[in-house]
Chain A
Amino acid sequence: MSLLQDQTVKLRAWAPKSGWLAWRNYDFQLTTYAVLLTMFGLAMAYSNSVGSTHEPLTINSPFVRSIMWGVVAVVVLGLMTVFDYKWLKSFAWPLYLINLGLLVLTLRVGVGTGEAGTAARWVVIAGFQFQFSEMAKIIMVLVFAAFLADRQDKIKSPWTIMQMLIVLGPPWILVLMQPDLGTSLVLVATVAGLLFMSGASLFWLGTLATAVLAAIPFVWTHMADYQQARLLTVLNPWADPQGAGYQVIQAQTAVNAGGIAGKGLTNGQVALPVSSTDFVWGVLAEELGLIGAIVVLVLFTLLLWRMLAASWRATEPFAMLLGAGMATMIFFQVVVNVGMVIGLVPVTGIPLPFVSYGGASLVSLAAGLGTLQSANLRRERPAW
């Protein structure tokens, strides 16, 4: 079997596939789940746009904007699918530098919106706000995957972990300076997931994790007040019901009110902060109920399953790590975003992939999915 595989490699290595045969490896399920999740996102954006009073849609409403971004996302998905993902590996380091440049740009010219507090996370391009830290997540998955793929021979070395952390450092600090605690946590989680899946030394990973835990008291004292408050709030939201606890209380009230079947789209009544982005799950739970919530969670599970399948079937480390990295990133975001709404984890500004309103998030996810599909298409299959 391995002989056969080797021959196949020789025959088809690096060769772009042509004709419909290549598309047999296209994972329609993966795209379908992503599209369905995006549909839920559109429904939420619609609900947030018209509200319970059924205001007319405007060009600037989240719903209309979401459709526009959705079109962009479809185009990006297609382009990235057609594009040979292996080129991205070659471009990993230039991409890394561009990424740093964009994050610096965000710090320099970025604007905050009233909705998300004073953080400067958005760059306005031609009237559209764009959050480069969303793109940074995907680019970093590519960079880390490329980096680890090149170090398969010394993957067990603690130096691999150290080097990963050094690569992570600059973008991580730039994101944290915005300040965007959520995205910085996503980056750390992605690195951890990639190291784990790449086969890095469990001993050294465990050592590192222990060191991080030991550093928590030190980090705590250096945290911004609002960050401390958010962490404490998960323990007792009623300590500061009009301040840090407000979001948590309101979100849980919304979830409580949803019940099994929900109140129906646009019928949500509980006032939620950042209801179209970070707290979209509260709106979803109130309006679509437990049924809607379970459907979305199942869709996420299936999506992650297809990503891991892509990773599992990959025939070379870069593709395998791409799938694993994407899955880690999305899984972490789902757990944290949903978890914070239902009071399981502290409130951090992390969007729910596909569902939260946000052009940068959606387009970046589409780019990542496209890359994964590109890897699917260009997979060397055992010829049986």
Chain B
Amino acid sequence: MMNKMSQFIETKVAPVATKLSSQKYLKALQSTFLFLIPFFTIGSFALVLISPPVDYTTMEPGFLQSIMAGWQSFADFTSPVLDYVFNVTMPLMSLYVALGISYNLCKEYKINSMMPLLVTMSSFIISASMNAERTLSFAAFDATGLFTAIFVGIISFELYRVLVEKKVGRINLEGSGVPPALADSIGNLVPVAIVVVLTAFLNNLLFTFTSINLPQVITIIMNPLVSAVDNIWGVIILAVLVMVFWWFGIHDSVITSALDPFFYSNLGANAAAFAAGTAAMALPHVVTAPFWWNFMAIGGSGATLGLAFLALTSKSKQLRTIGKLSFIPSLFNINEPLIFGLPLMYNPIMMIPFIIVMPLNGVITYLAMSSGLVAKTFAYASWNMFSPIAALIDTMDIKAVILVIALIIIDILIYLPFFKAFEKQKLAEEEE
């Protein structure tokens, strides 16, 4: 039965995973967000530092009040610098994503030229700016333009690439003694012109007939999907799907890389609302990158931090060895040693907790945040930050830390009976 199942996975599911993972646009998107993580982290820290969680003038005099007053003067002093640091991170994310897609597709096609990056960037700027005055505008460079950046990024890159490949309007300078770099830039003057003019023309056409621009149109189209992800049922279905993949030992990126645009555009929208003065409890979105990676995947996918602790203190020598090996990485949300070493993969005893614990964390966190009990996330401490600390940075709410600690305890309690059964089996093996 087990053999049949694993055979089914290797012959039927794995090829699908391969297809998705090697899908060039998905791959480019995944690499782009990998590059952007430091920007999200730096911007998050800047935003947190310039935003004291409590207004000290409304507080009772005392120790906490003096801390908050000190924080406020620190914020006043550093905000001339940190405002810029924040403003070039999340509020420009779509511009970076357009560039990143172009850059990563260049690598995919082995194109060694700066021109596609310039073409994609200008196409995105036109599409995101388009307004009644026909001026440049930064408004949709933030999270609101993210799907536009992906869409325009791919289309303009591909159009340019095909035009160059088909030598459309190629100005042949070879043999005339000009340096190769110049031949690449001037030689491709016509394709550049075609893409940029066409982009401006089409965006103008759209705006003239609908009086809204492409980011607004795409927002309307994407809205049902965004709501489907930012929803308790969406969280459950996606988390179960991810964990089923992991139970078969297949990395979640097959699913989560397609979720990245949703996670980050929701995070960006929250950060923008928070920077504009919205209270952290009242932010628009619950499901964001930090929601998933810092509140649900505590210890790694499957929320295995509690399990690593159980393994560390196990009576079985074999399980203890894995516990020792995996506990420290687990603090930083790396759990491959547990998944492959304990193992969790293909382990029928551990299947139930491994698949249900992370969705459960999602449900509890979703309810806590949507009911206003715990602040929503507006910053992102990065996926490999120890979860309780990450929760504090993500929300600046001490109740979020308590939530994460409670989740770790709940996770341990759910894993415990299954782990004990598995441990018994291992101990019996070791007796022999």
B is bound to A: no
